């Protein structure tokens, strides 16, 4: 299947004609932070394509445009709640290209989404962590005996929101943050927090740590950051499940945000698209403190190596959460579409390919940047993603 030349993203109002299934009211709040990573058209496109065609969408990798609207059927996806705002925009945009296709996405969390894919209840999964070895083996049962691939589609900072009246800005070095989330520092006027914030008037309010109660790729990325950046303090292994008891637990992204918003003295972690007007921590990187932004998150991804999963065409990334590169925001997630390399029938494979092509296209990436404040994938990553998608088969 060739990469389609997509028309400009349709208005989000069209989302009324499609289905986005969500658990509870887990709807991230749009961020005002712009995405600034270069969203140039696919470098493999024809050099002779004119500017008008470029703004219409991603280029055909073989220099040809394909008309949409010839597909029909439905797709069911499930997974990361961090992707919910992006999936809403992707579904609306894809509906403008393929009005005969209905896409459903259930934002139940990364772990539950992978579970639904493995059980055959979902055609694709969204996840903030790539498949581990056990999951790669289990998914073969529903992938016609073959493998599944992880394709990066969404790059976002993990923000650290806090609720501390009278304190609008807060700096935290990695060790200080790790001690807070390990519940070794329990009061906001602790001397280590004060050392990071010499000009702040810190109250003696007790600290309430808010963590995810469900299996979450966001949790895995956040605990991986703590383990990498503060290894002398955070001795727990990275995990989709929060490893420390106590504090307050809440399900999904919206649950964490609501808990932080509702409890004075609280601090949590969540996809940056959801934080809204909550104050967020500036994270210590080297000698500086860095505020989250799509650009700062993209710096980490570009500096990170591919993971060795042993699956041909897999694009999983081992994020360099311990980076000290100037201007990089190290608490970042890459969210994936997880798809079978082979589906039982050709119709399903074609639907998956068409939807995932739209998501990684320039139009799709711009749609998620506008809706969720994510950083678009790079043009080189888009090339790799298109090659992986093109290899998906069915029947």
CA 160 to chain centre: 15
pLDDT tens digits, residue range 201-259?
A: 999 999 999 999 999 999 999 999 999 999 999 999 999 999 999 899 999 999 999 99
Residues β-bridged to residue 104:
76
Helix (H, G, I), strand (E, B) or coil at 283: strand
CA distances from 170 to 20, 45, 166, 219, 259 (A): 36, 45, 11, 21, 19
pLDDT tens digits, residue range 133-172?
A: 999 999 999 999 899 999 999 999 999 999 999 999 999 9
Residue 374 contacts residue 154 (beta carbons within 8 Å): yes
Strand residue runs (E) in the chain: 73-79, 101-106, 124-127, 148-159, 161-162, 170-172, 208-212, 248-250, 266-267, 270-271, 279-285, 288-290, 332-340, 342-343, 393-394
Q: Residue 184 above 90 pLDDT?
A: yes
Lowest-confidence segment of 27-41, 81-95, 271-285, 307-321 by average pLDDT: 27-41
Pairing of strands 279-285, 170-172: parallel
pTM, rounded to two decimals = 0.76
d(CA 28, CA 35): 17
pLDDT tens digits, residue range 210-226?
A: 999 999 999 999 999 99
Phi-psi region of 132 (alpha: psi -120 to 50; beta: other; left: phi over 0): beta
Helix (H, G, I), strand (E, B) or coil at 220: helix
């Amino acid at each position: 299947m060739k990469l389609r030349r997509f028309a400009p993203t349709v208005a989000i109002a069209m989302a009324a004609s499609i289905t986005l299934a969500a658990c509870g009211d887990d709807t991230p709040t749009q961020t005002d932070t712009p995405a600034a990573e270069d969203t140039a058209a696919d470098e493999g496109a024809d050099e002779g394509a004119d500017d008008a065609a470029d703004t219409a969408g991603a280029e055909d990798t073989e220099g040809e445009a394909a008309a949409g609207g010839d597909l029909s059927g439905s797709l069911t996806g499930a997974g990361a709640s961090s992707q919910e705002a992006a999936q809403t925009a992707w579904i609306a945009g894809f509906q403008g290209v393929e009005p005969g296709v209905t896409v459903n996405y259930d934002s139940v969390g990364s772990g539950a989404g992978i579970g639904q894919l493995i059980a055959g209840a979902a055609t694709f999964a969204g996840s903030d962590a790539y498949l581990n070895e056990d999951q790669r083996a289990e998914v073969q049962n529903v992938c016609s005996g073959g493998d599944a691939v992880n394709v990066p589609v969404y790059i976002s900072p993990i923000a650290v929101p806090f609720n501390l009246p009278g304190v609008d800005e807060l700096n935290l070095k990695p060790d200080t943050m790790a001690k807070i989330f390990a519940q070794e520092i329990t009061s906001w006027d602790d001397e280590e927090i004060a050392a990071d914030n010499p000009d702040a008037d810190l109250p003696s309010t007790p600290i309430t740590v808010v963590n995810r109660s469900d299996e979450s790729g966001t949790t895995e990325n956040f605990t991986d950051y703590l383990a990498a950046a503060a290894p002398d303090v955070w001795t727990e292994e990275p995990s989709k499940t929060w490893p420390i008891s106590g504090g307050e637990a809440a399900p999904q992204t919206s649950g964490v945000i609501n808990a932080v918003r509702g409890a004075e003295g609280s601090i949590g972690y969540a996809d940056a698209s959801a934080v809204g007007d909550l104050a967020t921590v500036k994270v210590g990187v080297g000698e500086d403190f860095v505020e989250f932004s799509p650009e700062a998150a993209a710096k980490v991804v570009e500096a990170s190596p591919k993971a060795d999963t042993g699956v041909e065409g897999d694009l999983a990334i081992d994020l360099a959460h311990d980076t000290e590169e100037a201007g990089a925001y190290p608490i970042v997630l890459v969210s994936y579409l997880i798809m079978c390399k082979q589906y039982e029938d050709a119709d399903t494979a074609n639907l998956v390919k068409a939807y995932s092509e739209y998501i990684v296209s320039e139009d799709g990436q711009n749609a998620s940047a506008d809706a969720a404040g994510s950083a678009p994938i790079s043009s080189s990553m888009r090339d790799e993603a298109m090659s992986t998608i093109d290899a998906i088969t069915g029947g």
